[in-house]
């Protein structure tokens, strides 16, 4: 699997080309306003560029010409999951039901979806929280559940937009270690300002400045 994306968006002065290799975690770094979150939104299907092309695992996600015409795969059909700073858990569902939502939305039966949810809750160390509602979770617990929900959807590509930004200094290291473990061998893009995240999680780094690629390593 691989991701190759070129996106140009005049309203946000974005013009970038980025590639992610099979099994690679790419860190997107750069100052605020550099275009990092905009690029994730384009790949996730939440933001339409003026022109550009993205191919994920040989499948064209979009291919828009100068007039904005061309194929565009909707967000729900891309196999891409975006994990934002806010866990965005469904408040009316239990933790278990939140995590089971992804498999259910992909057509899994209730029993199979719940089994997958249990598996991923155990993987992120959140199994004891299964029957709580999101309002009863700490910030670190909620983000662990959000990671489990994202992975339970079995995405081809996982996008993480500053996943530690809303966590305190005690919760962030534990979640960083969790992500280091679950992202191993998985294709992902992580937006971060923290060199510790790059060191712990990333196989490669691309730095954006003013909507352009300013460097890669």
Per the CB < 8 A criterion, the answer to whether 172 and 95 are in contact is no
Q: Is 213 helix (H, G, I), strand (E, B) or coil?
A: strand
Q: Give yes or no for residue 71 having a pLDDT over 80.
A: yes
Q: Mean pLDDT throughout 59-65?
A: 97
Q: Give yes or no for residue 58 having a pLDDT over 80.
A: yes
List, edge to edge, every strand of the sheet that includes 59-64.
14-20, 3-9, 51-56, 59-64
Q: What is the pLDDT of residues 133-155, one digit of tens each?
A: 999 999 889 988 998 999 898 89
């Amino acid at each position: 699997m691989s991701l190759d994306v070129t996106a140009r968006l005049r309203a946000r002065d974005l013009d970038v080309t980025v590639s992610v290799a099979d099994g690679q975690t790419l860190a997107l770094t750069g100052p605020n306003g550099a275009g990092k979150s905009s690029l994730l939104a384009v790949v996730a299907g939440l933001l339409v560029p003026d022109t550009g092309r993205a191919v994920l695992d040989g499948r064209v996600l979009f291919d828009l010409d100068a007039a904005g015409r061309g194929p565009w795969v909707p967000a729900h059909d891309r196999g891409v999951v975006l994990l934002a700073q806010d866990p965005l858990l469904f408040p009316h569902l239990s933790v278990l039901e939140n995590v089971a939502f992804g498999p259910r939305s992909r057509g899994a039966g209730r029993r199979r979806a719940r089994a997958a949810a249990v598996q991923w809750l155990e993987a992120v160390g959140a199994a004891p929280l299964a029957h709580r509602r999101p309002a009863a979770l700490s910030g670190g617990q909620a983000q662990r559940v959000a990671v489990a929900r994202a992975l339970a959807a079995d995405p081809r590509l996982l996008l993480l937009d500053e996943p530690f930004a809303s966590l305190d200094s005690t919760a962030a290291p534990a979640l960083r270690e969790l992500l280091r473990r679950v992202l191993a061998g998985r294709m992902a893009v992580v937006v971060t300002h923290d060199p510790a995240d790059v060191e712990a999680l990333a196989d490669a780094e691309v730095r954006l400045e003013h909507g352009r690629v300013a460097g890669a390593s």
